[in-house]
Structure 1
Amino acid sequence: MTSINSSIGKIDSFHDKILEKATEAFGQSSQNVDFSDRMQNALTDVADAQKQAADSMKAFDLGIETDLSKVMVDQQVSSLGFQLTLNVRNKMLSAYKDILNMPV
């Protein structure tokens, strides 16, 4: 029994160290961030990627940008961000419907 408790203590200390490193890496505590704030930041990032892709495509069309690979990468980043956002929305709606249909 004591070996289990000591193992749990070691796991807890590893968890605390990992949480510290993650907090340092991301600059803020993940416990203090609201879900709606995370969603808003993610949507803003996707919108920024779409704007950057549109701007780089427009610059390429006008002859300002000559690097086609940069334009294509921007387009793919924008597309993947949109697909991820759409999938998250669909999963959230599915979870909401499942909760709504649960018997009380």
Structure 2
Amino acid sequence: MDLKLTPVSMPSSIRPSTGIKPGGATGAAAAGGAGFSGALKDALGSVSAAQNESTRLQKEVQMENPKVSLEETMVAIQKAQIGFQATLHVRNRMVQAYTDIMNMQV
């Protein structure tokens, strides 16, 4: 069974492409990006931006800015935490794959 799910919050720049572009290239590589490395860089930038935004909102709440709500801040913190955990899992999987490849008998 081949089931493909695309999260709603995934940026379109890293969303997988299903079609083959002229010249045989697919996905981000056809769009002029560097493929997986470009998508990974964009994802890391997105996680970093979410963390920076949550930090900014935390500071605003601590300064008692009436325009920033505590609920908005807590949601931003949770989004940053989930993004960081996902990034950590991807990193761990990549390290494990690298280790497995390096331990293969040639």
User: What TM-score, normalized to structure 2?
Assistant: 0.69
**Structure 1 residue 67 displacement after superposition:** 1.2
Partners of 2:61 and 2:68 within 8 A in 1: yes
**2:94 counterpart residue number:** 92
**Structure 1 residue 66 displacement after superposition:** 4.2
**2:42 counterpart residue number:** 41
**1:62 counterpart residue number:** 63
Q: Within 5 Å, give how 1:65-84 maps onto structure 2.
A: 65-84=67-86
When Rg is computed on C-alpha atoms for both structures, the one with the higher figure is 1
Runs of 4+ in 1 over 4 A off after TM superposition: none
Letter in 2 for 1:19: T
Measured in 1, the distance between the counterparts of 2:88 and 2:82 equals: 10
Measured in 2, the distance between the counterparts of 1:86 and 1:68 equals: 27
**Structure 1 residue 74 displacement after superposition:** 0.3
Question: Structure 1: which 5+ residue stretches go unaligned?
Answer: 1-17, 21-28
Structure of higher RCO (CA pairs closer than 8 Å, 6+ residues apart): 1
Aligned residues: 80
Measured in 2, the distance between the counterparts of 1:49 and 1:66 equals: 16
Letter in 2 for 1:69: E
Aligned CA-pair RMSD: 2.0
**1:19 counterpart residue number:** 18
Q: Which has the higher helix share?
A: 1
Measured in 1, the distance between the counterparts of 2:79 and 2:36 equals: 23
